[in-house]
Structure 1
Amino acid sequence: MRVTAVAGAAGALVLGTVGYTAYGAAEAAWTGKPYPVADPAAVARHLDARTQTVYEALALRPEATPAPDHRGDDGITARIYGACSARGLSHLLESMNDTGADQPRTAALRARFTLTGVTRPEWEEAVGRARQSLTAQGWTVASSDESAPVPSLTLTPPDTGPGSLAESASLRFDPAYHTLEVSAGSECASYPDGTAVDQEGRPADLPTGTAPTRPPGR
């Protein structure tokens, strides 16, 4: 009788453990893997500093100056639509819609400025300097299309910033307007509790992005 009781208790414990594990797995599948959490203001300041680092590596002549932001895309932007998809089976039906489903209180941040007065030969020299300088500091080339009609270069830094978010920095030259875009962006991250948001759900009170503030290294 005693052996039977012990075996029964052990069996109940195993079944309970299996049941709890199965419940945990089901809950994780239902809610989905959570996005990392990071303070959006801290991430914005960090990305803004990244653009300054890349700008210094370009070592452009002083005549390359900030361009007017006609499209309103420069500075600090927070993408909440079509960037950070809702995760988990609980959003399965929503994700089947044409627009998909976006994760609440989650955004992908970017810092960017545009320089004007850059010629194609100057771009080629500058991007070569930036590639050499940054890779020597541990950056890696993520993608390169420097011979395209609108050439670009994307690099990944050797370390991460707030929230240990994955990030990258990009250079893009538009020969039609003689402009060079410098940007840095991070993966999607959720806001900590208490973060103020605007009416659309973007983080409020983000810092203002800065155009180049340091003299070129050339």
Structure 2
Amino acid sequence: MPGSSPPRTSRLGKLPRCATGLTGLVRFARVWDGEPCPVADPAATATRLDEDTQTAYDALTPAGAELDPQRSAGLLAYNDSCSHRGLSHWADRFDDAPPLVPGVVNVSAEWVLKGVSDEEAAVALRRARAELVRQGWRVTEYENAAPNRTLRVTPDGSGGVSVSLRVDAFDGDRLLVGAYAEWARYPDGTPLDGRDRPRLPEPLAPAQLRKWLREGRRGRPHHGWRAAPSACTAVLL
């Protein structure tokens, strides 16, 4: 009608547009600040990685191998490479010593076997690959020809902190077994050591060889000896 006011637009009709704008802001914030790290208890992560390396040992069944304590790192939590994420920290990539993210660590478990010949390593890697695949691990890298013998696997599945497991032959008679978790933020109140790193439990794997050392036995376990099947399974945190 002449002189009548134009129809008023309902505010409800504007809500979808506002919601779209908020979604865009959230996405931009994630790109700008970076994806947040998952939160995980470092001690629990270390225990599970230790179990994963035990799983690898039981799959390898390296007869006659010994643990090499001097070259075994054990369970570690470190933040030496946990740099900030996101576009807001893009310039940090060009810094020789970029600032580290406080409260975020990588957790790993590593130990070394000695007395494993190249021929034994080749057989052990083939056996481990088949057994870990049977248990549900996914092979991401495999090379089994001298001088490069390596196996990389990850648990099949998703969710939680990503985990990887590796076995490498080196120095002619050594096998390195390691399990690694991605960066994760530890909860407030996590016990720290003297270097302000999370306290971790003592490693147990490979249980059979650590027991051998604790009992003070000398020499190599005899070649007819085999590891007992492990009850450990591959897990995601």
TM-score, length basis structure 2:
0.76
1:174 partnered with 2:185: no
The answer for the alignment partner of 2:76 in structure 1 is 77
Indicate the SS of the match to 2:109.
strand
CA contact (8 A) 1:76 1:111 kept: yes
The alpha carbon displacement at 1:157 in A equals: 2.4
1:92 partnered with 2:93: no
Provide the aligned length of Structure 1 versus Structure 2: 209
CA contact (8 A) 1:174 1:180 kept: yes
1:147 partnered with 2:148: no
TM-score, length basis structure 1:
0.82
Kindly report the root-mean-square deviation, in angstroms, between the aligned alpha carbons of the 2 structures: 2.7
The alpha carbon displacement at 1:4 in A equals: 3.5
Alignment of 1:22-33 (within 5 A): 22-33=24-35
The alpha carbon displacement at 1:120 in A equals: 0.8
Please say which structure displays the higher CA radius of gyration.
Answer: 2
Gaps of 5+ in 2: 209-225, 230-237
The answer for the alignment partner of 2:65 in structure 1 is 64
The alpha carbon displacement at 1:25 in A equals: 3.2
Q: 2:227 is aligned with what amino acid?
A: P
Q: Distance in 1 between matches of 2:197 and 2:189?
A: 13
1:21-77 Cα deviation digits (max 9, x unpaired): 44333332332210111111100000000111110111121x31111324xx51011
Q: Distance in 1 between matches of 2:164 and 2:16?
A: 47
The answer for the alignment partner of 2:160 in structure 1 is 164
> Percent of aligned positions with the same letter in both sequences?
35
The answer for the alignment partner of 2:216 in structure 1 is none
Aligned pair in 2 of structure 1 residues 202, 11: CA closer, same or farther (>3 Å)? same
CA contact (8 A) 1:113 1:181 kept: yes
The alpha carbon displacement at 1:109 in A equals: 1.2
CA contact (8 A) 2:75 2:202 kept: yes
Indicate the SS of the match to 1:181.
strand
CA contact (8 A) 2:69 2:111 kept: no
